[in-house]
Amino acid sequence: MKKRVLIGLIILTTLAAAFAVVRSQLPITSVPLRTTPRFLNPPPKDHQPAQLTETDLSVLEETPLIIPEPLRIRKLEGKRLQAPKGFRIQIFALGFKKPRMMAINQQGDLMITAAKEGRVYVLPDRDGDGVADEKIVFAAGMRFPHGIVVDGDSVLVAEEDKVQRLKDVDNDGRADQKEILISNLPTGGNHITRTIAIDAQRNIYVSIGSSCNVCRDDPRRAAILRFNPDGSNETLFAAGLRNAVGIVFHPQTGKLWATDNGRDWLGDELPPEEIDIVEFQQHYGWPFCYGDKVTDPDMGDEAFCQTTASPAVTMQAHSAPLGLRFINSKSFPNQLQGDLLVAFHGSWNRSVPTGYKIVRVKMENGKPVWVEDFITGWLNPDGTVWGRPVDIIEGKDGALYISDDNEGIIYRVTYEPPVS
């Protein structure tokens, strides 16, 4: 009898684990805004996507990964992703160590930071065939280069401890002028990436993650700092952002939007990941609270939490949202215009893996309405992973580029209207 009970328990445990893996692969059809801890409410029944003319973006189809002949490697053969009908995904370049953030230079070439290599690359596609012609080392010998932004004829790169301004004076694709704009950024600890953005006045914004999971930290950490265009006048722009890896300005409103990775070790479903609209001198909660003013059990300060800013969007815990980008390319369907795409790097401390995808935040009148899957498939049904998206950017050619620091790949995403 005991033996039969034991066998029954083993079978039930196995089935539960299998169901959890399958469940983690189901698309997140919607994520409620400013709601904790529920995440899966559907959009309103009477809601119709704006300008639904080319394809239903909420329906994902199997999409083979296109591998151009010069880039063929055996382990990627037969790989498939899921994307809305009409979207094609191919490899643009590969062979990098930890490719992270991206920018488009004045010549229209894609630039990437390869953090583990200490390098910045330029990836020209002169013949327009959708494959990088070569990998030009724009700069090397850097300390974990991560954030990158183009400022006129200069390129600003955020390293762990500083921000450099680089110039390619002779137009050979390699930086021959280097200037340290900002030095002595705080270093070490859990989060060593530094992300950078510039506003319409060319002020520089640097995001610096916390040194720990939950603690009282250096006030320059878990924060976004602002500097004048020449690197002077450091100002604490916003605080309480545990790890805002992705920051970008809204092209119409000029507001700064950021992803924020929540703390660890509160279980599989807490805390929610956030997208925040970052305002000057606002505090976004960490380490005292998470989500929408929810008191942290270890560092909680309920009264202070009531004074913190609410997130614009909350999402599945431990998804690790990183790069984000508003879509303006006319090469894509009308109903995608103005929406926000976010790269989910994926979980590392969750019993059932989640994330490893690109999600779409549907925007209407400048406000987020719901969140749904846009490109999935890097997470296998058995819980293994073959890709981790980091950043997203639109190219001069109208295509979408995605960096993957797990496989060292840059993907190129294009759209062809389905034939009716």
How far are the Cα atoms of 12, 26, 64, 142, 418 from residue 86, in angstroms, in the given order? 41, 21, 12, 40, 5
Does position 36 have pLDDT exceeding 70, yes or no? no
Q: How confident is the model at residue 14 (pLDDT cuts 50, 70, 90)?
A: very low
**235-239 vs 282-283, strand pairing mode:** parallel
pLDDT for residue 356: 98
**Is residue 112 within 8 Å of 96, Cβ to Cβ?**
yes
Residue 4's H or E segment, with its range, is: helix 2-25
Measured from the Cβ of residue 262, the count of other Cβ atoms closer than 10 Å reads: 24
pLDDT for residue 20: 41
Q: How confident is the model at residue 16 (pLDDT cuts 50, 70, 90)?
A: very low
What is the C-alpha to C-alpha distance for residues 198 and 256, in angstroms, rounded to an integer?
10
**Is residue 340 within 8 Å of 26, Cβ to Cβ?**
no
What is the C-alpha to C-alpha distance for residues 348 and 61, in angstroms, rounded to an integer?
27
Going along 128-199, which residue ranges are E strands? 136-139, 147-151, 154-158, 163-167, 177-182, 194-198
What is the C-alpha to C-alpha distance for residues 32 and 48, in angstroms, rounded to an integer?
17
What is the C-alpha to C-alpha distance for residues 243 and 94, in angstroms, rounded to an integer?
27
- Kindly report, residue by residue over 106-143, the tens digit of the pLDDT: 999 999 999 999 999 999 999 999 999 999 999 999 99
Instruction: Give me the sign of the Cα torsion angle 282, 234, 261, 81.
Output: positive
pLDDT for residue 420: 63
What is the C-alpha to C-alpha distance for residues 230 and 146, in angstroms, rounded to an integer?
20
Does position 40 have pLDDT exceeding 90, yes or no? no
Query: Tokens 């083979």 sit at which residue?
Result: 64
Q: How confident is the model at residue 301 (pLDDT cuts 50, 70, 90)?
A: confident
pLDDT for residue 349: 86
Task: Please enumerate, as own/partner, the contacts of 22-28 that have beta carbons within 8 Å and a separation of 24 or more.
Answer: 22/381, 23/352, 24/352, 24/353, 24/354, 24/379, 24/383, 25/376, 25/379, 25/381, 27/60, 27/372, 27/373, 27/376, 28/315, 28/316, 28/359, 28/371, 28/372, 28/373
* pTM of model > 0.85: yes
Mean pLDDT to the nearest integer, 316-331: 96
Does position 289 have pLDDT exceeding 60, yes or no? yes
Residue 14's H or E segment, with its range, is: helix 2-25
Residue 391's H or E segment, with its range, is: strand 389-394
- Poorest-confidence range of 217-226, 362-371, 407-416? 362-371
What is the C-alpha to C-alpha distance for residues 275 and 105, in angstroms, rounded to an integer?
27
Does position 21 have pLDDT exceeding 90, yes or no? no
pLDDT for residue 79: 96
- Kindly report, residue by residue over 137-191, the tens digit of the pLDDT: 999 999 999 999 999 999 999 999 999 999 999 999 999 999 999 999 999 999 9
* pLDDT over 90, % of the chain: 82
- Kindly report, residue by residue over 365-380, the tens digit of the pLDDT: 889 999 999 999 999 9
pLDDT for residue 366: 86
What is the C-alpha to C-alpha distance for residues 369 and 363, in angstroms, rounded to an integer?
6
- Poorest-confidence range of 2-16, 202-216, 302-316? 2-16
**Is residue 156 within 8 Å of 165, Cβ to Cβ?**
yes
When the pLDDT of each residue in the chain is averaged and rounded to a whole number, the result is 88
Q: Which amino acid is at 315?
A: M
CA 259 from chain center: how many Å?
7
